[in-house]
Structure 1
Amino acid sequence: MIDKFSNETIKALKFYVYVYSDPDTKKPFYVGKGQGNRVFQHIWDDSESEKVQKIKEIFERKKEPLIEILAHGLNEKTALKVEAAVIDLIGINNLTNQKRGYESSTYGKIEVSALESRYAGEKLEDADIKHNLMLIRINRVYRNDMTPYELYEGTRGCWKLSLDSAEKVDYVLSVYDGMVIEVYKPVQWFEGLTTFTTKDDDKSQWTQPRYEFVGRIADPKIRKKYVGKSVAEYFKKGDQNPIRYVWGK
């Protein structure tokens, strides 16, 4: 196998996106982007990463990883977006990549109706709100391919909030990029990390109490009222607080 490109090839490639696959199954296990001879550097990597261990396992079988260039002649930003799209298409859980691609939560794989709601969604008007709502922005944890359970877990805690106010809430709206993506009916609020079994937060680092809820997805009639609506105007620009309360009329 070759382990470097000629200067002529490097000049023509510019930025590119590449994939490593198993030579026997042809199943991709790593997607990356780069320029120059970046594509070959993984062969000489001696780290303990899953990607490197897979490459070593292939060599131990007296085979070579199948290395392919998916797209080239790109600028860096385009290469980043192509890389992210390929990772989304294959699925991060099917790869040894440790994270999803560039801006994939914003520009990555998304169902068409959700995309239409994001860019042309109807605003939630004050006059339409008949319930006490808690809006929670989950921008930091959201992925377009989250399962319903992952979305629920990412929404329900742990949050710095007033327990008195939280217990007056009828519904919790999960918000990403200013759009309501799900609605939950909280059944009970608990002190943070009471009901989570797999959460890495360290309570000793908290400067004030945090809380989480357990509940269920709201009834279809309620979901229809709120899901897909824009609530961006309820969050002031630059405000880092992910929680907003909107009290019903």
Structure 2
Amino acid sequence: MVRILAVKIKRAINENRVDLYEATRGNWKAAKENCNTDTVGYVVGIYEGKVLSAYRPTRWYSVIEDGTDSVRRRFEGTPVDKDLFEIFKKNEEKIINSFGHGAAISYVEMDLKNYNLV
């Protein structure tokens, strides 16, 4: 099983007009122990109920936003290949349904071994 961090990127795209990578990579309010290269295999960006981007994190950072004591997480990573992106698209409903009411992030466990990718 692979843990996927799903993140809602609508606000980042609409307010900041940033590209998909910047919108997906952070800054996410998540615990360091939940967001690191040992615990998260992929990050998937969700926009208006659709999988719009997907990356494999290679490095995570802690970020302190100006004017707050809140520590957030941000990653560096590489885009997934087309085949893996299509698998995430096919599992879109499972990913979307993992979000709690009003939540900006969610964790989803997926078995990718059946797809000969892992």
Q: CA deviation at 1:247?
A: 2.2
* Structure 2 match to 1:47: none
**Do structure 1's residue 154 and structure 2's residue 28 form an aligned pair?**
no
Identify the match of residue 141 of structure 1 among 2, 12, 15.
12
Identify the match of residue 88 of structure 2 among 222, 226, 235.
226
Q: CA deviation at 1:176?
A: 1.0
The structure where strand makes up a greater share of residues is: 2
Greater relative contact order, per chain length (Cα 8 Å cut-off, separation 6+): 2
**Do structure 1's residue 240 and structure 2's residue 111 form an aligned pair?**
no
User: Helix, strand or coil for the counterpart of 1:227?
Assistant: helix
User: Helix, strand or coil for the counterpart of 2:12?
Assistant: coil
* Structure 1 match to 2:32: 163
* Structure 1 match to 2:50: 179
- Asked if the contact 1:182–1:227 (Cα under 8 Å) also holds between the matched residues in 2, the reply is no
**Do structure 1's residue 216 and structure 2's residue 85 form an aligned pair?**
no
User: Helix, strand or coil for the counterpart of 1:165?
Assistant: coil
Q: CA deviation at 1:243?
A: 0.8
Matches of 1:184 and 1:190, distance apart in 2: 15
Runs of 4+ in 1 over 3 A off after TM superposition: none
Amino acid at match of 2:96: A
Identify the match of residue 62 of structure 2 among 191, 208, 224.
191
Matches of 1:227 and 1:154, distance apart in 2: 18
Matches of 1:233 and 1:241, distance apart in 2: 11
Normalising by structure 2, we get a TM-score of 0.76
- Asked if the contact 1:135–1:172 (Cα under 8 Å) also holds between the matched residues in 2, the reply is yes
Stretches of structure 1 that go unaligned for 5 or more consecutive residues are 1-129, 194-202
Matches of 1:232 and 1:218, distance apart in 2: 19
- Say what the alpha-carbon RMSD is for the aligned residues: 2.1
Normalising by structure 1, we get a TM-score of 0.38
Count of aligned residue pairs for this structure pair: 105
User: Helix, strand or coil for the counterpart of 1:205?
Assistant: coil
Q: Which has the larger radius of gyration?
A: 1
Q: CA deviation at 1:178?
A: 1.9
Amino acid at match of 2:76: V
Stretches of structure 2 that go unaligned for 5 or more consecutive residues are 112-118
